[in-house]
């Protein structure tokens, strides 16, 4: 079974079975049973014409069988019986219902995000644990506790309305954006899935600026996916990307979504920053003063060390490398051990005329990089700065 088929089917199966049975563990177990059945049968019998439908049918049948064997009440069996015959799906999408359930305020934010990643996107527990910098057993316990709390608190499986919808929105947006960023580089299909869910939320809340802004932000970031790596799979920095390979239709849609809408929150500001990069015909044409001003606003409404690093880079290009290095110095302790911060300092140091120091910073950043591709890219930049330093010495 291909990974895209798994990603597409898993979340749908789990969400639908949770709606029908109210049993999170049963839903996940039956989804995995269906996947295991496919791994056994498809190599022998061939992949079915509708892989997702096949998996859904097998998972539903497993759920019916397990409930029958467990002698579940007749009411629940009557609710599940129609599953054995095709029927129209309820209005909306079960995955969106599942996201709002996972994002209930009764759960801690990390639990909301982790639970949605696991149940909606099918992200392995080990990968979620790495994302949160905890061990896999600890993350497994956290997921179990979150599901138990949903059951004990009788959290409803639905999309809320009225004030509750507005109250729950920030958590949902955070989950959807993390779903997108989780797949942005390693899994374009997962990023596509997140964008689809954001579109669905935008239909539900067409007058909510931050929902529209998140859709625009995802579209703008995703527009560069074809140019972010070269033919050998190595990362390509923004200044060296072939902009003809960008998704200009997606960029146009995103810019249109932002036009005339108020900037009320961090997603809108980030979307305008991304748009500033996307509409530039080349790197030299980037309107860095405007982007730096947007980062100033983002730092005011959504302060964080990561924002300050990016703000320093923007100011370094808008007002000179010394300005950027000065801003970085104010958060150096907060970002100690953060590879992008060292890489930013290295880039600004090279532009300030000290390639030898820049080479050392790039090497230190490479040691802290989170992926092999990032490590290779930083080592390549370190080598280039080192060569420049040698040339200056001669």
8 Å CB contact between 103 and 168: yes
User: In terms of residue numbers, what domain contains 356?
Assistant: 337-394
Among 29, 56, 87, the domain boundary falls at 87
What is the pLDDT, as a whole number, of residue 97? 87
* 49 domain-assigned: yes
pLDDT higher than 90, residue 383:
yes
* 43 domain-assigned: yes
pLDDT digit string, tens, across residues 228-241? 999 998 999 999 99
DSSP state of 90: P
* 97 domain-assigned: no
8 Å CB contact between 241 and 198: no
Determine the length of the chain: 394
pLDDT band at 77 (very low <50, low <70, confident <90, very high): low
pLDDT higher than 60, residue 89:
no
- Rg of the chain over Cα atoms, rounded to whole angstroms, equals 24
Most confident of 7-16, 20-29, 86-95, 118-127: 20-29
* 169 domain-assigned: no
pLDDT digit string, tens, across residues 129-149? 877 778 999 999 999 999 999
What percent helix, strand, coil does the chain show, rounded to 5?
Answer: 75, 0, 25
What are the distances in angstroms from CA 342 to CA 292, 307, 310, 357, 390? 19, 14, 12, 11, 22
330 and 348: one domain?
no
Q: How many domains does the chain have?
A: 3
pLDDT digit string, tens, across residues 279-313? 999 999 999 999 999 999 999 999 999 999 999 99
What is the pLDDT, as a whole number, of residue 3? 67
pLDDT band at 80 (very low <50, low <70, confident <90, very high): low
352 and 307: one domain?
no
Please give the mean pLDDT across all residues of the chain: 88
21 and 82: one domain?
yes
pLDDT higher than 50, residue 368:
yes
In 3D space, the residue among 253, 236, 254 whose CA is nearest the CA of residue 245 turns out to be 236
The CA distance from 220 to 250, in Å, is 7
8 Å CB contact between 135 and 121: no
* 132 domain-assigned: no
Hey, is 190 helix, strand or coil? helix
78 and 11: one domain?
yes
The CA distance from 9 to 95, in Å, is 11
The CA distance from 287 to 311, in Å, is 14
Among 320, 336, 352, the domain boundary falls at 336
* 145 domain-assigned: no
299 and 366: one domain?
no
The CA distance from 323 to 364, in Å, is 22
In 3D space, the residue among 348, 284, 285 whose CA is nearest the CA of residue 315 turns out to be 348
Cα dihedral sign for 195, 197, 201, 203? positive
What is the pLDDT, as a whole number, of residue 238? 95
What are the distances in angstroms from CA 165 to CA 105, 171, 341? 11, 10, 37
pLDDT higher than 70, residue 193:
yes
What is the pLDDT, as a whole number, of residue 378? 96
The CA distance from 143 to 135, in Å, is 13
pLDDT higher than 60, residue 167:
yes
* 50 domain-assigned: yes
Q: What percent of the chain has pLDDT over 70?
A: 92
The CA distance from 327 to 316, in Å, is 9
The pTM score is: 0.75
Higher-confidence position of 185 and 144: 144
Segment 363-377 shows an average pLDDT of 93
What is the pLDDT, as a whole number, of residue 210? 95
pLDDT higher than 60, residue 74:
no
What is the pLDDT, as a whole number, of residue 95? 80
Higher-confidence position of 3 and 371: 371
Q: What percent of the chain has pLDDT over 90?
A: 52
Higher-confidence position of 392 and 245: 245
What is the pLDDT, as a whole number, of residue 88? 42
Residue 331 CB partners (closer than 8 Å, separation 6+): 305, 308, 309, 312, 341
């Amino acid at each position: 079974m291909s990974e895209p088929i798994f990603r597409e089917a898993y979340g749908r199966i789990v969400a639908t079975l949770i709606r029908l049975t109210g049993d999170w563990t049963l839903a996940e177990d039956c989804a995995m049973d269906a996947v295991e059945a496919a791994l056994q049968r498809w190599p022998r019998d061939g992949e079915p014409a509708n892989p997702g439908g096949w998996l859904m049918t097998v998972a539903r049948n497993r759920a019916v069988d397990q409930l029958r064997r467990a002698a579940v009440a007749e009411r629940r069996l009557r609710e599940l019986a129609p599953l054995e015959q095709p029927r129209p799906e309820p209005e909306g999408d079960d995955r969106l219902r599942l996201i709002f359930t996972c994002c209930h305020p009764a759960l801690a934010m990390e639990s909301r995000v982790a639970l949605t990643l696991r149940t909606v996107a099918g992200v392995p527990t080990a990968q979620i644990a790495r994302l949160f910098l905890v061990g896999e057993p600890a993350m497994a316990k956290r997921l179990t506790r979150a599901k138990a709390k949903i059951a004990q608190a009788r959290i409803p499986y639905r999309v809320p309305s009225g004030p509750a919808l507005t109250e729950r929105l920030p958590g949902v947006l955070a989950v959807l954006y993390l779903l997108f960023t989780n797949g942005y580089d390693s899994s374009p299909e997962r990023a596509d899935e997140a964008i689809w869910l954001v579109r669905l939320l935008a239909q539900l809340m067409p007058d909510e600026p931050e929902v529209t802004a998140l859709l625009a932000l995802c579209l703008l970031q995703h527009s560069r996916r074809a140019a972010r790596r070269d033919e050998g799979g190595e990362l390509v920095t923004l200044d060296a990307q072939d902009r003809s390979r960008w998704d200009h239709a997606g960029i146009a849609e995103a810019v249109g979504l932002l036009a005339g809408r108020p900037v009320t929150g961090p997603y809108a500001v980030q979307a305008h920053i991304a748009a500033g990069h996307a509409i530039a015909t080349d790197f030299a044409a980037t309107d860095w003063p405007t982007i730096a001003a947007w980062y100033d606003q983002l730092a005011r409404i959504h302060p964080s060390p990561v924002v300050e690093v990016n703000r320093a880079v923007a100011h370094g290009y808008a007002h000179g490398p010394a300005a950027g290095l000065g801003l970085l110095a104010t958060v150096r302790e907060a970002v100690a051990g953060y590879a992008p911060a060292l890489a930013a300092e290295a880039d600004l140091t090279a532009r300030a005329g000290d390639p030898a120091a820049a080479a050392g910073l790039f090497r230190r950043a490479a040691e802290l990089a989170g992926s092999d591709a990032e490590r290779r890219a930083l080592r390549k930049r370190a080598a280039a700065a080192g060569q420049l330093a040698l040339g200056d010495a001669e």
